[in-house]
């Protein structure tokens, strides 16, 4: 997102660790952020963020709020980021918060699981920025959109439905790139602390494959190159699929595969070496689809 807040990204990298859904609503206003967001105190004296359309309109500190008007309640857990988050909440329009809540509820149904409560705020922030960019004539390209669609099919379909909901509710026609960005928010929200071992394995596999290419072709990576970035990102999705044992695609066009194989012979030899390594260490056999995408990315690394 284009943002004037340098702390915004850092806040949401760790949002699952400092934000949780509140239990029960404190109804006495302790602090007013805007007409739609206020801070109340729970029974233990802890601060809660309560959100709802017009809940603080014409209210003062000490007044009660209508609990039935509250649609989100959050409890802050990290004092270091409290004020930044509160400032962020002031900037999110209530209609975006309500729409995002609908999107998250839809995603929970599609995935059959409860995503992190913090997704409502992080995704609301993203959609707010996307809407602002739209009105300012700014279009952000998502260079990973097709990789995301390929490896996170369900999450991408949620992103597409979310874009349709945004068009219906806000009369804004966002590009397909936004479906990819929203899908990544969903993917991030699915992860848990228990996934740490898998994350380590995925990271290790990325490093191993990148090293095979580096030493086989005796090259030094240009880490500032967009082709390097796309290669590493592809390896992340690829390694994640292997570690999580997700089924590989079998829809590769045989004629396309043979054409790429013939034209990118050096890259093909590199994929053979990667395939041998993965078979020996991870008992994974590369599919033609795997080889096709690896050849394309490796060739771009070698020719730029």
pLDDT tens over the chain, length 304 residues: 333 333 333 333 333 333 444 445 567 888 888 888 888 877 777 778 888 888 888 888 988 888 888 877 777 555 544 566 677 777 888 899 889 989 999 999 999 998 887 788 889 989 999 999 999 898 888 877 887 887 788 999 999 999 999 999 999 999 999 999 999 889 878 866 546 577 678 878 998 999 999 999 999 998 878 888 889 888 988 998 898 887 766 667 888 999 999 999 999 999 999 999 999 999 999 999 999 999 999 999 998 7
- Pair (224, 169) in one structural domain: no
Domain ranges, residue 63: 8-78
205 in a structural domain: yes
Measured N-to-C along each axis, helices 119-135 and 82-91 cross at an angle, to the nearest 10 degrees, of: 50
Which token pair is 87? Answer: 């400032």
- Pair (202, 297) in one structural domain: yes
Q: Give the integer Cα–Cα distance in Å for 139 and 175.
A: 8
Residue ending a domain, among 78, 106, 135, is: 78
For 20, list phi and psi in degrees, rounded to 5: -145, 160
154 in a structural domain: yes
- Pair (72, 109) in one structural domain: no
Count up the domains in the chain and report the number.
3
86 in a structural domain: no
Q: Give the integer Cα–Cα distance in Å for 5 and 122.
A: 14
* Three-class secondary structure of residue 98 per DSSP: helix
pLDDT at 83: 64
Question: Which whole-number Å values give the CA distances from 60 to 52, 57, 86, 251, in the listed order?
Answer: 16, 9, 18, 61
Burial letters 6-30, b for 16+ CB under 10 A, else e: eebeebbeebbebbeebeeebeebe
Residue ending a domain, among 162, 190, 218, is: 190
Q: What is 70-97 written as a DSSP string?
A: --EEEEE--GGGHHHHHHHHHHS-HHHH
Burial letters 249-281, b for 16+ CB under 10 A, else e: beebeeeebeebbeebeebbebbeebbebbeee
161 in a structural domain: yes
Instruction: From 208, 202, 209, select the one nearest 151 (Cα to Cα).
Output: 202
Residues 181 and 173 sit within 8 Å (Cβ to Cβ)? no
- Pair (273, 181) in one structural domain: no
- Pair (241, 210) in one structural domain: yes
Residue ending a domain, among 78, 107, 129, is: 78
3 in a structural domain: no
Residue tagged 């990315």 (tokens): 297
- Ranges assigned E (strand) in the chain: 19-21, 29-34, 37-41, 47-51, 72-76
32 in a structural domain: yes
141 in a structural domain: yes
Q: 8-11, long-range: CB within 8 Å, 24+ apart, which pairs?
A: 8/88, 8/125, 11/81, 11/84, 11/85, 11/88
* Three-class secondary structure of residue 139 per DSSP: coil
- Pair (66, 129) in one structural domain: no
- Pair (282, 212) in one structural domain: yes
Q: What is the CATH number of the domain that holds 101?
A: 1.10.1790.10
Q: What is the CATH number of the domain that holds 59?
A: 2.30.24.10
- Pair (57, 127) in one structural domain: no
166 in a structural domain: yes
- Pair (200, 299) in one structural domain: yes
- Pair (179, 232) in one structural domain: no
Residue tagged 């599919």 (tokens): 287
Question: Which whole-number Å values give the CA distances from 243 to 57, 190, 217, 235, 277, in the listed order?
Answer: 51, 16, 26, 12, 15
pLDDT at 24: 55
């Amino acid at each position: 997102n284009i943002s004037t807040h340098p702390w915004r990204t850092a806040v949401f990298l760790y949002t699952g660790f400092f934000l949780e859904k509140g239990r029960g609503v404190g109804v006495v206003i302790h602090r007013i952020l805007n007409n739609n967001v206020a801070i109340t105190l729970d029974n233990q004296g802890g601060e809660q963020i309560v959100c709802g359309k017009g809940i603080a309109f014409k209210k003062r500190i000490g007044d009660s709020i209508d609990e039935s008007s509250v649609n989100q309640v959050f409890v802050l857990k990290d004092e270091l980021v409290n004020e930044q988050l509160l400032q962020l909440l002031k900037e999110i329009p209530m209609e975006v918060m309500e729409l995002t809540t609908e999107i998250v509820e839809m995603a929970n149904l599609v995935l059959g699981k409860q995503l992190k409560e913090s997704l409502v705020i992080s995704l609301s922030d993203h959609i707010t920025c996307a809407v602002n960019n739209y009105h300012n004539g700014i279009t952000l390209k998502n260079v990973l959109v097709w990789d995301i669609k390929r490896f996170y099919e369900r999450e991408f379909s949620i992103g597409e439905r979310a874009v349709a909901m945004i068009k219906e509710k806000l009369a804004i026609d966002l590009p397909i790139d936004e479906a990819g960005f929203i899908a990544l928010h969903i993917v991030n929200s699915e992860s848990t602390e228990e996934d740490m071992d898998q994350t380590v394995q995925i990271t290790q596999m990325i490093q191993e494959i990148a090293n095979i290419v580096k030493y086989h072709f005796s090259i030094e990576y240009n880490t500032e190159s967009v082709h390097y970035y796309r290669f590493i990102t592809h390896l992340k999705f690829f390694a994640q699929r292997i570690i999580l044992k997700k089924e590989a695609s079998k829809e590769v066009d045989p004629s396309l595969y043979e054409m790429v194989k013939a034209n990118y012979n050096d890259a093909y030899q590199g994929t053979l070496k990667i395939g041998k390594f993965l078979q020996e260490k991870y008992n994974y056999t590369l599919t033609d689809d795997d080889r096709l995408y690896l050849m394309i990315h490796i060739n771009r690394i070698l020719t730029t």
